Amino acid sequence: MQQILSQISLSGHDLTTMGLDLFLGLFILVLMRWAYSLWVRIDFREELARKDNFALGISIAGALLSIAMLITAVVSSFTMMAYQQMAIKLISYGLVGILLIKVGRVAHDRLVLSRFNKHDQIMQGNISIAFVDAAGAIAMALIVSSVLRWTRSIDINGLIAIASGFVVALTMILLTTRAVEHHYAANNQNDDMQDALVRGQFALAVRHAGQILGVSIAVSAGEHIIQYQPQAYVNNLLSWLLVATVLTITSVVLTLIAKRIVLFGINLVREVDHQHNVGIASIEMILSIGMAMLLRGVVSV
């Protein structure tokens, strides 16, 4: 037993730091839940427990996971700081993360999925809309977290870099969504993909969620390619846009090849768009995410 314990390299300081991080992380998640209820002005118990609004639960789950990812990135950036300084930084960036989630959701609603009222759809129980909404929140958190790890600093320059990554995330999600909408219209007699989501086409939502998450994972690999220059604000933003574009295109191409191989002989338009085959859509989602993870793994070597 003594030999086993000797292999575990955890000091009292390490355990205290871990405990503080976990406590503050839980505190920020609770704060996120409280802030969310203020934003949407709803009674959580009424909607989730009594009305069984699954769509709202999915949307909230996406928001909570996104803020948890941001907190994780923050914690990993300053584990060697003093307790007080660590607590201040974690809470500060937690609040910044909550603000980014709010801004991201508003921007996503106004720019990306702008042809319907997302809040109304979720409150009406539209699971398809909620699924895409949750994926969008997680996607932006993935990219912002990667930018935070890339900066390795908690200062004004780091905040500007995070904002740049946030802009890149929205841009890539917007472009991806518009390309998918164009493809959907071309194969469905000019039907609107957003209208299909409003009608509750869950298979389409599953596939699109995978596309958004795949793009975000691929773009997040930019942290391993781009050299961080604290005060080169414009160059940092343009570098992320350039690298994000290349990585997005590469990820999409890899996904298309994977679908051709894995789903050989299956008419994806008929199965997903027309027959609402959630099983096929789930495979498409996993292939989008899997190819992006493969690309990120190759880039990070």
**In the chain, helix, strand, coil percent, each to 5?**
80, 0, 20
- What is the model's pLDDT at position 26? 73
CA distance 25 to 89: 12
Q: With left for phi above 0 and alpha for psi between -120 and 50, is residue 126 left, alpha or beta? A: beta
The label of the residue with tokens 């003594």 reads 2
Burial of 19 (0-12, 13-18, 19+ CB in 10 A): exposed
Report the C-alpha gap between 146 and 162 in whole angstroms. Answer: 9
pLDDT of residue 1: 54
Query: Is residue 155's pLDDT more than 80?
Result: no
Give CA–CA dist 288/298, Å, rounded.
Answer: 16
pTM: 0.86
Q: Report the chain's mean pLDDT, rounded to a whole number.
A: 82
Task: Give residue-wise pLDDT tens across range 232-261.
Answer: 888 888 988 999 999 999 999 999 999 999
- C-alpha 236/C-alpha 230 separation (Å) is 8
